[in-house]
Chains A and B, each alone.
Chain A
Amino acid sequence: QVHLVESGGGVVQPGTSLRLSCAASGFTFSSYGMHWIRQAPGKGLEWLAVISYDVNGEYYADSVKGRFAISRDNSKSTVYLQMDSLSLEDTAVYYCARSRPGSSWYGGDYWGQGTLVTVSS
């Protein structure tokens, strides 16, 4: 079955960087687009970024464009989110999700359980 496991979260200081990972299993990772979405404590969902199955395209929400970067390593079935210049407002649970079959640009169907990033001084 589809399994996504995020890692790399933790407590970091404002202005620093962090890289999240999402390890996938149970499907042919190299055939699917992948997303990152976050949820601040007690708040709603915020879509962040998507990357195509073949790394030829990536798109970002305006709120993180230029500060966050999505990437993937198909040989490791892993998608990453590099987060720079973190601020208190980036405190959230970060989820990865697989694009629905058929296009890298479809919305997510399966989601991981999330990893918590806390930005605090």
Chain B
Amino acid sequence: EIVLTQSPATLSLSPGERATLSCKASQSVSSYLAWYQQKPGQAPRLLIYETSKRATGIPARFSGSGSGTDFTLTISSLEPEDFAVYYCQQRNNWPPLFTFGPGTKVDIK
């Protein structure tokens, strides 16, 4: 079973700053690495799929990168609505089993 680790657990930043979130896998994963954003009381929202592709309607300030075991979500300039919890998710090649990382909370400094 592939385990995802996210760091830091909490990231305290100010609006306008750049956020860099890390997701590391216990073994090399396929390109099926996705990022979700979740705000309190809301369902998660897909931000990035296949490591670097932005989902429909996601602003360009969100970008994803990485390969192998190390992946990154970058928010180039934080907007007030970006303060939330972010989860990475990977899928096995086969069978299609999915796992989430524990999440990174981005809060206001």
Identify the A interface with B (CB < 8 A).
35, 44-47, 50, 59, 61-62, 95, 100, 105-114
Contact = CB atoms under 8 A, between A and B. Distances in A.
A107 B49 contact: yes
Interface residues of B, number: 25
B100 A109 contact: no
A50 B43 CA distance: 18
A33 to B, nearest CB: 9
B89 A107 contact: yes
Interface in B77-109: 87, 89, 91, 95-103
Given A50-B98, A107-B34, A100 B87 contact: no
Contacts of A106: 32, 49, 91
Contacts of A44: 87, 100-103
